[in-house]
Amino acid sequence: MTDKRALFIALTMTPMVGPVTAKTLISYCGGIEAVFEESKNNLLKIPGAGPILVNNFDPHAMIPWAEKELEQIDKNNIQVLTYLDKNYPRRLNNYDNAPLVLYYKGNCDLNHYRTVGVVGTRKPSQYGITMCERIVEGLSGYNVLLVSGLAFGIDATAHRKSIECGIPTLGVMGNGMDRIYPAEHRSLANKMMNAGGLITEFARGTLPDRENFPMRNRIIAAISDAVIVVESKRKGGSIITAELANDYNKDVFAVPGMVTDEISEGCNSLIKQNKAHLIESAADIAYIMRWEEIDSSRSVQGQLFVDLSEDETLLIDLIRDNREISIDALTGKTGFTPSKSASILLELEFKGLIRTLPGKKYILT
């Protein structure tokens, strides 16, 4: 019997099948195994699976390759996480285009209490390096997982400072797990795997091509509760990540720079357009994210959480992951009826754990 992980890997490598299509197939067929057994006539009945896709759909052809891939993955102690696994980053599952499969090596919690993305230019000024180190050091008191892209410049500075400060740090890669890019960061990557980890959606042998990095950036934006842009020109991967984070309703922060410096144009522009909060320190982030309030009441809330039902805990987790979320979105993500969702939310309000915003949206208190 074929390892289920190999089936997921094979499906990701099947031409014309992206994450959204793959998840639709799995949902309608009733599981990953059923996708490989389904007839073409039945596949044609699935929304979005037109004749061009179905007539060219042959995931079986990728199974031998996937099994060899899995053999090497296991040999190198790499975890294969599918979007249905409990250890898969649940924040990613809020977005339809999240990867079907992730490859991960490390020892951090991918569903950490708080996650912060740090991005910036590959060629920072001394000011940018200093501000990055200052902010990361300041985050050490807030129980965060720091996420970045393992690139030269701000990324590497953030990762190194995290290790120095005892903050777990996760590197999101734009290539396969069989190579470290840039190669100069092999030593850093090894340290990160002992104090965080590396993660990628790309199979072994995938080169760090330019088109892969926007895909990597979407993971950084989606997995982070907050994204910090330390120093950036007006165009580039850091600004793409910030724009994605805004689209995902995440809080974006930017370090201001001199208006005459090209290297600060991106940050200054984000601030000017109200697409990012201006920050000078980690304390600014904590204040806007209300981390200090949460920390001061953690012992009280911890006692309250003991008495939560499984359904109540599920809603609390979803509200926490999204910062704020509507009852319609909660109903869609949980499968509860609207009346059941409303009843649970009302009970959570009585317990003082959530409050209602205009537009029937909910946030944690």
Express each pLDDT in 111-161 by its tens digit.
998 999 999 999 999 999 999 999 999 999 999 999 999 999 999 999 999
Q: What pLDDT is attached to residue 226? A: 97
**Bond into 182 cis (ω within 30):** yes
Q: What is the pLDDT of residue 188?
A: 97
Tokens standing for residue 338: 């609207």
Spans in the chain with pLDDT lower than 70: 1, 293-306, 358-359
Q: Hey, is 174 helix, strand or coil?
A: coil
305 Cβ contact list (under 8 Å, min separation 6)? 313, 316
Q: Please report where in the chains the tokens 């001061």 appear, as a residue.
A: 296
Task: Name the H helices within 76-141.
Answer: 126-139
Residue length of the chain? 365
pLDDT at 338: 86
Tally the C-alpha atoms within 13 A of residue 339's C-alpha that lie toward its C-beta: 0
Task: Delineate the domains of the chain, giving CATH numbers in brackets.
Answer: 4-75 (1.10.150.20), 115-289 (3.40.50.450), 297-364 (1.10.10.10)
The pLDDT of residue 272 is 97
* Mode of pairing for the β-strands spanning 115-119 and 226-229: parallel
Cα–Cα distance measured from residue 116 to residue 226, given in angstroms and rounded to the nearest whole number: 5
pTM over cut 0.75: yes
State the SS3 of 50-68. Answer: CHHHHHCCCHHHHHHHHHH
Half-sphere exposure for 112 (CA within 13 Å, toward CB): 23
Question: Around 274, how many Cα atoms within 13 Å sit in the side-chain half-sphere?
Answer: 0
Question: CA 134 to CA 299: how far, in whole Å?
Answer: 29
- Helices (H) and strands (E) in the chain — how many of each? 18, 12
Phi, psi for residue 13 in degrees, rounded to 5? -95, 0
- Determine the Cα–Cα distance for residues 127 and 232; give it in Å rounded to an integer: 12
Contact in structure between 82 and 66 (CB atoms under 8 Å): no
